Amino acid sequence: MTVTTRPRGEVERWLVRNGWEPGRDVSERVAEFIECAEDWAKREGFPAPVFDAARDFLRSYGLLELKAEKHPGRSLEINPAGGHESDYESIAELTEELGVRLFRVGFDMPEWGRILMDEAGRFYYLHWSGSYVLGNDVYEALGNWLVNNLEELD
């Protein structure tokens, strides 16, 4: 993965401008959205239980709408419950391909690309055009999303 050109401090300042703060904890508020996502996956026939890394990410960043300042109308919604019919079939296929469990932690607008996270804290972007690596941690992933730096999965 190509490392983002966005320094961690720049990504942090962007997060703060979008409502995040260090120590943020929305565990109680995001719990219902996690449960909704798990129920949706089960109904589609592709169970996707949340794991610790995704729960920790959602505790700190959940329910934020992160606006791409240089691209009006483009935003990243940190909400596991947003998506499309048949998302979990696509997520299950990518899970099998990668050999790691994935959990949907958000989506972007207006593209409706799904933001996925694995148990090691790596992020992926699932889009109608393909599957991509976003980054190896939250700052790399968000920095890469900001500049549309996606590495296509083989």
127 contacts 113 by C-beta, under 8 angstroms: yes
The pLDDT value recorded for residue 50 is 96
The pLDDT value recorded for residue 96 is 95
Model pLDDT for residues 97-133, shown as the tens digit of each residue = 999 999 999 999 998 999 999 999 999 999 999 999 9
Residue 29 neighbours by CB distance under 10 Å: 12
If pLDDT is split at 50, 70 and 90, which confidence band does 2 have? low
Residue 3 included in any domain: no
φ/ψ of residue 67, rounded to 5: -90, 135
Mean pLDDT of the residues in the chain: 92
Residue 1 included in any domain: no
**CA-CA distance, 76 to 150, in Å (whole number)?**
15
Please give the tally of structural domains in the chain: 1
Domain containing residue 68:
8-152
Residue 21 included in any domain: yes
Q: How far is CA 111 from CA 10, 19, 147, in A?
A: 24, 22, 15
